């Protein structure tokens, strides 16, 4: 596991989808440094099937030494995003890091994708990422080491990633296009804009819903993404931007070569399920996408 360095002490992180899963793990990692965490998510009241709310996450952040600001935010709603940004700046004095984690997924082919689901994915993934970044940028430009980190894949134009789930690929690549464009747009002003994507499936509530308990054995813990995110946003923003990082590569660059501790079941560490958008030698889709598409 990657050790904390204290570099995020007093820094303010604005994290979407932070009530559970990867977003929450990133929040808890930063909290150990004494960071300020703006916890943005729709879940203010307990969900009947999913654990965690913005308030339970806030309690965990503060128990670890961080400061928390829970905000009810649907990233599709501009007024809610702007209100959360204003509240964050008022409480903490600014914003240093944005993590665009909120996302929606539906691995369906074109004829099986209803427009309501298409709109949901594109409004949350692509539009939501653009909106949150845009709202936070005036404050990031005042930070000494500003970062935007989108949890989105590298831009891989292999048609296999478009063939069976075009709507989802378009929505996720919309997040990645934000990295491509904003990193160049704000490079001279010192704002780092990068993407982070997992090598394997990460066991979250979404994976559990898609694959059930069996998915856990073949997945890594959200902590691997949190550690990789921590490594990225503590780097010099002027020296690291426009990159599409993969979690295990980031950790290896930090000297962590044994990733066994990140496996949900260490006995399956060599049987982990590859995530999507990363080509295998035979150019076939990731096992996770194939498994979910058949379920």
Active site (catalytic) residues: 168
Find, among 102, 101, 97, the residue nearest to 33 by Cα: 97
Neighbours of 90 (CB within 10 A): 9
Q: Tell me which residue has tokens 């989108």.
A: 150
**Whole-number CA gyration radius for the chain:** 18
Torsion from C-alpha of 44, 49, 51, 56, nearest 10 degrees: 30
Q: Report the half-sphere exposure of 146 (CA within 13 A, side-chain side).
A: 20
DSSP string of 98-117, one letter each residue: EEE---------GGG--HHH
Contact residues for 51 (Cβ-Cβ < 8 A; gap 6+): 20, 205
DSSP string of 43-107, one letter each residue: -SS--SSS---HHHHHHHHHHTT-EEEEEE--TT-HHHHHHHHHHHHHHHS---EEEE-------
Find, among 129, 155, 157, the residue nearest to 242 by Cα: 155
Find, among 4, 289, 12, the residue nearest to 162 by Cα: 289
């Amino acid at each position: 596991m990657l050790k904390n360095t204290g570099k995020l002490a007093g820094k303010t992180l604005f994290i979407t989808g932070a009530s559970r899963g990867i977003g929450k793990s990133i929040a808890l990692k930063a909290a150990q440094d004494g960071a300020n965490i703006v916890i943005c998510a729709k879940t203010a009241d307990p969900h009947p099937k999913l654990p965690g709310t913005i308030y339970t996450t806030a309690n965990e952040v503060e128990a670890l030494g961080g400061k928390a600001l829970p905000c009810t935010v649907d990233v599709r709603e501009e007024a809610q995003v702007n209100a959360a940004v204003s509240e964050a700046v008022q409480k903490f004095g600014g914003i240093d890091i944005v993590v665009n984690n909120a996302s929606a997924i539906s691995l369906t082919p074109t004829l099986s994708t209803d427009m309501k689901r298409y709109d949901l994915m594109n409004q949350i993934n692509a539009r939501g990422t653009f909106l949150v970044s845009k709202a936070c940028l005036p404050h990031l430009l005042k930070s000494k080491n500003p970062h935007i980190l989108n949890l989105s894949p590298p831009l891989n134009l292999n048609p296999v990633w478009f063939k069976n789930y075009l709507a989802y690929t378009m929505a996720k690549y919309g997040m990645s296009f934000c990295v491509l464009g904003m990193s160049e747009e704000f490079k001279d002003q010192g704002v780092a804009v990068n993407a982070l994507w997992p090598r394997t499936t990460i066991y979250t509530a979404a994976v559990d819903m898609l694959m059930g308990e069996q998915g856990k054995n073949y997945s890594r813990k959200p902590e691997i993404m949190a550690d990789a995110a921590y490594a990225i946003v503590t780097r010099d923003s002027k020296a690291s931007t426009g990159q599409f990082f993969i979690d295990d590569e980031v950790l290896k660059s930090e000297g962590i070569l044994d990733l066994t501790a990140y496996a949900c079941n260490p006995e399956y560490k060599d049987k982990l399920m590859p995530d999507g958008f990363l080509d295998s030698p035979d150019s076939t889709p990731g096992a996770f996408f194939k498994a979910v598409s058949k379920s």
